[in-house]
């Protein structure tokens, strides 16, 4: 019998020079959108998950990755998102890169009350841009801003100004409300009072380098940290302060990956939590507990999260291998229960059908076993993505199972 590895989908493939740039994302799409609110065109780059074209009924969180014009940090952070998504520590997202020119980076990040257009930029993102995205893609209501320096200050202001729309901010080398701006301070206080009644979490992750390494924002960010530590904050505000021994320009590269890992940590460890639930229920598959866990994650993040192939592969492997001898004679029955649910969600997956057929053969239910093995053969032959060599090997393996 074959041993099914828990994470068999997470193969690390050595990329050739002709390979696509990202593992989990398509090549970015460059575009622009005229904004009535800003009375100007906004240059954008849209990066979509590869799985989007094959998914139905799934909605994706949106990450607004500001300062696309700063290509080194921008590309580095795109790779961080791709890395975490590929290893399924964070959900696949739709990433929107927003470019700021030298003439608009200051004006678009300063609030209207102070002579800028930050409020107009917020209106553009939550109305004009969001409506455009909603027409084209299946987006959720989860919106995360990522900015650096001026755009970090803007991201903090946007979160405080529009918590009905934004869920969180990762702000590298930010400041204390634009270096002590009293109106932005008041706006943040209003934000803290307002979110208490919300049912989901808010995320505020910010960082700074050190002055001795060239980050002149250090003292301002220290006072922001002191302010937050001194206040009684809403329980649904999750925040963290990172201080790095690096220069101002380097803070995004060491902040964003860490912050995303923290924000999505419960999503990332969901399979481990499901393992614990399985091990705590030796006599039955705890479906309701599994679904309650996913429902809890969905409520916390504000968008629906469903069991994926990773869930079905991992939990089926837990029962099938039963390394700790927890499930006894039930292990194959539990594996079947998981896999039969899996093909309801993924009916064209030949691996699931083959695995189900193998288990039925092992249980001496030959007719059922051959039914699923024949279904697997049909699916393999119809799957154009399978190479001819792999097709031959899969078919040989299934024919061997039939003779056991």
| pLDDT class of 403 with cuts at 50, 70, 90 | confident
pLDDT at 384: 85
Give dist(CA 260, CA 242) in Å, integer. Answer: 13
Q: What is the dihedral of CA 71, 72, 75, 76, to 10 degrees?
A: -160
Domains of the chain: 29-267 (3.40.50.1820), 270-402 (1.25.40.10)
**Rounded mean pLDDT, 306-329:** 94
| pLDDT class of 81 with cuts at 50, 70, 90 | very high
Q: Is residue 103 scored above 80 in pLDDT?
A: yes
Instruction: Identify the weakest region by mean pLDDT among 67-81, 124-138, 216-230, 344-358.
Output: 344-358
pLDDT at 19: 43
pLDDT at 302: 85
**Rounded mean pLDDT, 296-303:** 89
pLDDT at 64: 98
Phi first, then psi: give them for residue 217, nearest 5 degrees: -85, -5
Q: Is residue 15 scored above 70 in pLDDT?
A: no
Q: Is residue 13 scored above 60 in pLDDT?
A: no
pLDDT at 142: 96
Q: Are 124 and 38 within 8 A, CB to CB?
A: yes
Instruction: Identify the weakest region by mean pLDDT among 9-18, 259-268, 362-371.
Output: 9-18
pLDDT at 69: 96
pLDDT at 334: 97
Q: Are 163 and 126 within 8 A, CB to CB?
A: no
Burial of 266 (0-12, 13-18, 19+ CB in 10 A): middle
| pLDDT class of 404 with cuts at 50, 70, 90 | low
Name residue 203's beta-bridge partners: 168, 238
**Rounded mean pLDDT, 344-356:** 91
pLDDT at 12: 35
pLDDT at 17: 36
In terms of Cα–Cα distance, which of 112, 116, 85 is closest to 22? 85
3-state per-residue secondary structure call for the chain: CCCCCCCCCCCCCCCCCCCCCCCCECCCEEEEEEECCCCEEEEEEEECEHHHHHCCCCCEEEEEEECCCCHHHHHHHHHHHHHHHHCCCCCCCEEEEECCCCCCCCHHHCCHHHCCCHHHHHHHHHHHHHHHHHHHCCEEEEEEEEEECHHHHHHHHHHHHCCCCCCEEEEECCCCHHHHCHHHHHHHHHHHHHHHHCCCCEEEEEEECCHHHCCCCHHHHHHHHHHHHHCCCCCCEEEEEEECCCCHHHHHHHHHHHHHHHHCHHHHCHHHHHHHHHHCCCCCCCHHHHHHHHHHHHHHHCCCCCCCHHHHHHHHHHHHHCCCCCCHHHHHHHHHHHHHHHHHHCCCCHHHHHHHHHHHHHCCCHHHHHHHHHHHHHHHHHCCCCCHHHHHHHHHHHHHHHCC
By percentage, how much of the chain surpasses pLDDT 70? 94
Instruction: Identify the weakest region by mean pLDDT among 10-14, 21-25, 174-178, 266-270.
Output: 10-14
Tokens for 76, please give them: 């580095």
**Rounded mean pLDDT, 319-347:** 94
pLDDT at 14: 37
pLDDT at 20: 52
**Rounded mean pLDDT, 150-159:** 98
The 60-66 sheet, strands edge to edge:
29-35, 40-47, 94-98, 60-66, 139-148, 168-172, 202-208, 237-243
Better pLDDT: 353 or 199:
353
Distance of CA 306 to the CA centre of its chain: 13
Tokens for 51, please give them: 């799985």
**Rounded mean pLDDT, 167-180:** 96
Neighbours of 11 (CB within 10 A): 9
Q: Is residue 5 scored above 50 in pLDDT?
A: no
**Rounded mean pLDDT, 92-101:** 97
Q: Is residue 1 scored above 60 in pLDDT?
A: no
Q: Are 379 and 395 within 8 A, CB to CB?
A: no
- Work out the mean pLDDT of the chain and round it to a whole number: 92
Q: Is residue 11 scored above 60 in pLDDT?
A: no
Give dist(CA 357, CA 351) in Å, integer. Answer: 10
**How far, CA to CA in Å, does 389 sit from each of 10, 12, 106, 265?**
21, 20, 57, 39
Tokens for 143, please give them: 């919106």
By percentage, how much of the chain surpasses pLDDT 90? 83
């Amino acid at each position: 019998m074959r041993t099914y590895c828990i994470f068999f989908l997470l193969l690390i493939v050595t990329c050739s020079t002709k390979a696509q740039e990202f593992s989990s994302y398509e090549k970015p799409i460059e575009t622009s959108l005229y904004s009535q609110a800003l009375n100007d065109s906004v240059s954008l780059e849209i990066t979509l998950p590869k799985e989007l074209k094959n998914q139905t009924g799934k909605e994706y969180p949106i990450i607004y990755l500001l300062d696309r014009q700063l290509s080194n940090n921008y590309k580095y952070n795109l790779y961080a998102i791709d890395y975490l998504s590929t290893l399924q520590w964070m959900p696949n997202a739709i990433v929107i890169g927003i470019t700021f020119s030298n003439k608009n980076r200051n004006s678009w990040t300063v609030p209207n009350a102070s002579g800028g257009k930050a409020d107009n930029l917020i209106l553009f993102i939550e109305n004009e841009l969001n409506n455009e995205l909603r027409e084209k893609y299946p987006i959720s209501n989860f919106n995360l801003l990522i900015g650096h320096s001026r755009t970090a200050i803007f991201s903090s202001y946007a979160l405080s100004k529009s918590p009905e729309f934004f869920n969180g901010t990762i702000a590298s080398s930010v400041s204390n409300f634009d270096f002590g701006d009293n109106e932005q301070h008041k706006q943040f206080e209003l934000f803290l009072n307002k979110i208490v009644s919300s049912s989901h979490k808010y995320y505020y992750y910010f960082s700074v380098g050190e002055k001795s390494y060239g980050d002149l924002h250090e003292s301002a960010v220290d006072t922001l940290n002191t302010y937050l530590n001194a206040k009684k904050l809403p329980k649904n505000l999750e925040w963290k302060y990172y201080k790095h021994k690096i220069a101002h320009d380097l803070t995004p590269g060491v902040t964003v990956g860490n912050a995303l890992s923290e924000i999505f940590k419960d999503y990332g460890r969901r399979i481990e939590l499901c393992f614990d639930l399985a091990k705590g229920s030796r006599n039955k598959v705890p479906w309701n507990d599994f679904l309650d866990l996913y429902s809890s994650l969905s409520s916390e993040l504000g968008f629906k999260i469903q069991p994926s192939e990773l869930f079905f592969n991992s939990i089926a492997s837990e029962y099938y291998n039963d390394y700790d001898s927890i499930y006894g004679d039930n292990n194959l029955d539990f594996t079947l229960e998981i896999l039969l649910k899996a093909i309801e969600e993924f009916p064209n997956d030949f691996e699931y059908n083959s695995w189900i057929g193998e288990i039925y053969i092992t249980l001496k239910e030959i007719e059922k076993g051959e039914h699923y093995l024949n279904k697997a053969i049909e699916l393999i032959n119809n799957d154009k993505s399978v190479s001819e060599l792999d097709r031959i090997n899969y078919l040989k393996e299934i024919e061997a199972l039939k003779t056991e």
